[in-house]
């Protein structure tokens, strides 16, 4: 029987494969050259999970996120092998939230049914736009129709917790087309919507083309964001994070762990972890990753960086991540965690953002308004001057 006092943990499993690479994407993923690579990778990932069996014996993971890449680009039998490996290596909590990321062109009803029976109870579908011309600009491999078929297949397979990713700031996108997409998506009534801004990342084809992309300007993006926040609230989706909106009871528990600075273990090339007080990540090199797990005797190093998190950094991270959440930062909770007075540390700096309507103080908490969330990077970089933070270790 599962002990009640087991620690909670989030598990992220990275599947680094895609059917083709989107022009804006800088995630670690590639098109596998043959099916053997996928089989080798799944074996390596399962072996990696097994290697954590004893260090995770005291944990009952309550969230699992199988992301990528495109996990559903793997044959379903391989995905089921990943889930079997997961269950044999970890004592999953009884009510575990298990999310699978899916590209609409890569899922069928039959596969979803098998995956749901294996434990997948949340599906995250990357639509990005309901406009086929915008999808083409993004070089997505699916159409709006593919998405709709995938969505309905998921419902038929009785997956009753679905997220849809929607993007704004797409080249050529207008206010009207964003609203048409949101209107279309909300009519299907998913439980959760991620609405996020396209970023032009270095190293991507979009970066090379950045001078010629017809990108909406900042004022247009601001209007898109604010209109979306209002529209989604009207449709019953409460904003709980800068880019995330959910019907009551359907917030993504896995992602909340990141923003709450809770523990999570990420396995696979490029995956990050915060586990046992340490942050680390694995190398963005699938071949090296597979070799290391196929030949443990060769001691091939796959950890990219390992960093023990000191209180000073923890405090800064906490402010940076917690402020992303609509509930913001509780002064009392901050004192309990760090033994510091949040008002004394940040109150003066926050005052001008409160005057501008970007931050509000409600009872014991500071939180960003939607207007503030749009410029959250600016607010946080202004706030987090680490020289202000004296070292204080409540554990010492
Ligand atoms: S499907 Fe997703 S992970 Fe794959 S290339 Fe496109 S955006 Fe990146």
> What CATH number does residue 80 fall under?
3.20.20.70
Predicted pLDDT of residue 384: 87
CB 153 within 8 A of CB 123: no
* Mutation choice for ligand 1 from 19, 20, 27, CB with most ligand atoms inside 8 A: 27
Point out the domain boundary residue: 258, 286, 303: 258
The boundaries of the domain holding residue 22 are 7-258
**Helix, strand, coil in percent for the chain, rounding step 5:** 45, 20, 35
Residue 153 CA, ligand 1 centroid: distance in Å: 21
Model pLDDT, residue 307: 77
- What is the SS3 assignment for 30? strand
Task: Enumerate the β-bridge partners of residue 124.
Answer: 101, 163
Distance from Cα 196 to the centre of ligand 1, integer Å = 15
Among the listed residues 296, 270, 295, 264, the one whose alpha carbon sits nearest the alpha carbon of residue 283: 270
The DSSP bridge partners found for residue 60 are 8
For ligand 1, whether the C-beta of 70 sits within 6 Å is yes
Q: What is the pLDDT of residue 392?
A: 31
Same domain, 248 and 383: no
Q: How far apart are CA 24 and CA 136, in angstroms?
A: 12
Note the Cα 317 to chain centre separation in Å: 17
Do both 203 and 327 map to the same domain?
A: no
My answer on whether 246 and 344 are in the same domain is no
Does ligand 1 lie within 6 Å of residue 9's CB atom?
no
- Asked if residue 347 is part of any domain, the answer here is yes
Please indicate, yes or no, whether residues 330 and 234 belong to a single structural domain of this protein.
no
pLDDT value of residue 37: 97
Atom of ligand 1 nearest to the CA of 20: 5
Q: Are residues 193 and 88 in the same domain?
A: yes
What pLDDT score was predicted for residue 312?
74
State residue 130's pLDDT score: 98
List of residues 6+ apart from 277 with CB closer than 8 A: 308, 309
For the Cβ of 72 lying below 6 angstroms from any atom of ligand 1, the answer is: no
The reply to whether 217 and 361 lie within a common domain is no
**Residue located nearest, by CA, to atom 3 of ligand 1:** 69
Question: Using CA positions, which residue lies closest to atom 2 of ligand 1?
Answer: 69
Q: Domain ends where: 224, 240, 258?
A: 258
β-strands 122-128, 329-330 pairing? unpaired
The domain spanning residue 333 has which CATH number?
A: 1.10.10.920
CA of 21 to the centre of ligand 1 (A): 6
Q: Which residues pair with 339 in a beta bridge?
A: none
Q: Quick check: is 287 in a domain?
A: no
Residue 252 parent element (H or E): none
Residues 28 and 124 occupy one common structural domain: yes
- Residue 283 forms part of a structural domain: no
171 lines ligand 1 (CB under 6 A): no
Bridge partners, 197 (sequence order): 168
Nearest one of 109, 186, 188, 201 to 150, comparing CA atoms:
109
Is the minimum distance from the CB of 19 to ligand 1 under 6 angstroms? no
Residue 16 lies in a domain: yes
Q: 213-245: b or e for each residue (b if 16 or more CB lie within 10 Å)? A: bebbeeebbeebbeebbebbeebebebbbbbbb
Last residue in a domain, options 242, 258, 274: 258
Residues 6+ apart with CB under 8 A from 202: 26
Give φ, ψ of 336 to 5 degrees: -65, -40
Closest ligand 1 atom to Cα of 26: 8
**Which residue has 């090296």 as its token pair?**
288
- Are residues 332 and 253 both part of a single domain? no
Q: Ligand 1 pocket, 25 CB below 6 A?
A: yes
CA of 18 to the centre of ligand 1 (A): 6
Q: Which of 125, 124, 143 is nearest to 133 (CA)?
A: 143
Name the pTM for this structure: 0.93
The values of phi and psi at residue 60, to 5°, are -120, 90
What is the model's pLDDT at position 388?
A: 46
* Residue 238 CA, ligand 1 centroid: distance in Å: 27
Residues 210 and 80 in one domain: yes
Q: Residue 345's pLDDT is what?
A: 94
Report pLDDT for 4: 59
**Claim to verify: residue 359 and residue 235 sit in the same structural domain:** no
How many angstroms separate the alpha carbon of residue 221 from the centre of ligand 1? 22
- Is 185 part of a structural domain of the chain? yes
Looking at the domain assignment, is residue 298 inside a domain?
no
Give the residue, by CA position, lying nearest to ligand 1 atom 8. 25
For residue 147, report the distance from its CA to the centre of ligand 1, in Å: 15
Q: Extract the runs of DSSP E, i.e. beta strands, from 117-217.
A: 122-128, 162-168, 192-197
Instruction: Indicate whether 197 belongs to any domain.
Output: yes
Pairing of strands 192-197, 244-246: antiparallel
Is the CB of 163 inside a 6 Å radius of any atom of ligand 1?
Answer: no
> Total structural domains in the chain?
2
Nearest-angstrom CA–CA distance, 43 and 49: 10
Residue with tokens 């070292």: 391
Q: Is 22 touching ligand 1 by the criterion CB < 6 Å?
A: yes
Q: What's the sign of the alpha-carbon dihedral 337, 340, 344, 349?
A: negative
Measured CA to CA, the distance from residue 72 to residue 124 in angstroms comes to 11
Q: Ligand 1 centroid vs 343 CA: distance in angstroms?
A: 42
Residue 274 lies in a domain: no
Any atom of ligand 1 within 6 Å of the Cβ of 21: yes
**Ligand 1 atom nearest to CA at 21:** 5
Q: Per-residue confidence of the chain (396 residues) as pLDDT tens digits?
A: 545 589 999 999 999 999 999 999 999 999 999 999 999 999 999 999 999 999 999 999 999 999 999 999 999 999 999 999 999 999 999 999 999 999 999 999 999 999 999 999 999 999 999 999 999 999 999 999 999 999 999 999 999 999 999 999 999 999 999 999 999 999 999 999 999 999 999 999 999 999 999 999 999 999 999 999 999 999 999 999 999 999 999 999 999 999 999 999 999 999 999 998 899 999 999 999 999 999 999 999 999 877 777 777 889 999 999 999 999 999 999 999 999 999 999 999 999 999 999 999 999 999 999 999 999 999 999 998 754 443 333 232
Cα separation of 236 and 186, whole Å? Answer: 9
């Amino acid at each position: 029987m599962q002990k009640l006092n087991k620690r909670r943990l989030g598990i992220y499993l990275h599947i680094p494969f895609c059917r083709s690479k989107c022009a804006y994407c800088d995630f670690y993923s590639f098109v596998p050259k043959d099916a053997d690579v996928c089989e080798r990778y799944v074996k390596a990932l399962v072996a990696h999970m097994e290697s954590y069996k004893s260090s995770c014996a005291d944990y009952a993971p309550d969230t699992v996120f199988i992301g990528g890449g495109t996990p559903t680009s793997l044959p379903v039998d391989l995905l089921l092998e990943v889930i079997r490996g997961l269950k044999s290596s970890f004592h999953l909590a009884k009510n575990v939230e298990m999310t699978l990321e899916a590209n609409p062109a890569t899922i069928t009803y039959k596969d979803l049914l098998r995956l749901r029976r294996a434990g997948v109870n949340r599906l995250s579908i990357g639509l990005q736009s309901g406009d086929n011309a915008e999808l083409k600009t993004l070089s997505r491999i699916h159409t709006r129709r593919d998405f709709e078929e995938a969505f309905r297949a998921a419902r038929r397979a009785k997956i009753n917790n679905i997220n849809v990713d929607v993007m704004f700031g797409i080249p050529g996108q207008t206010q009207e087309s964003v609203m048409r997409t949101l209107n279309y998506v909300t009519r299907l009534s998913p439980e959760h919507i991620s609405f996020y801004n396209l970023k032009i990342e270095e190293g991507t084809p979009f970066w090379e083309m950045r001078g010629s992309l017809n990108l909406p300007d900042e004022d247009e993006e601001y209007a898109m964001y604010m209109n979306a926040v209002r529209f989604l609230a009207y449709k019953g989706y409460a904003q709980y994070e800068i880019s995330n909106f959910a019907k009551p009871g359907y917030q993504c528990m896995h992602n909340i762990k990141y923003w709450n600075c809770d523990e999570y273990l990420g396995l696979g090339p490029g995956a990050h972890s915060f586990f046992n007080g340490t942050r680390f990540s694995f190398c963005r090199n699938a071949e090296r990753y597979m070799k290391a797990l196929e030949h443990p005797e060769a001691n091939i190093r796959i950890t990219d960086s390992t960093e023990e998190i000191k209180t000073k950094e923890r405090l800064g991270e906490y402010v940076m991540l917690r402020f992303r959440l609509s509930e913001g930062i509780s002064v009392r909770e901050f004192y309990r965690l760090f033994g510091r007075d949040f008002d004394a540390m940040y109150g003066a700096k926050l005052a001008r953002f409160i005057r501008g309507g970007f931050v509000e103080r409600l009872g014991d908490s500071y939180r960003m308004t939607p207007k503030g969330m749009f410029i959250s990077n600016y607010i946080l970089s202004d706030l987090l001057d680490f020289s202000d933070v004296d070292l204080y270790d409540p554990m010492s």
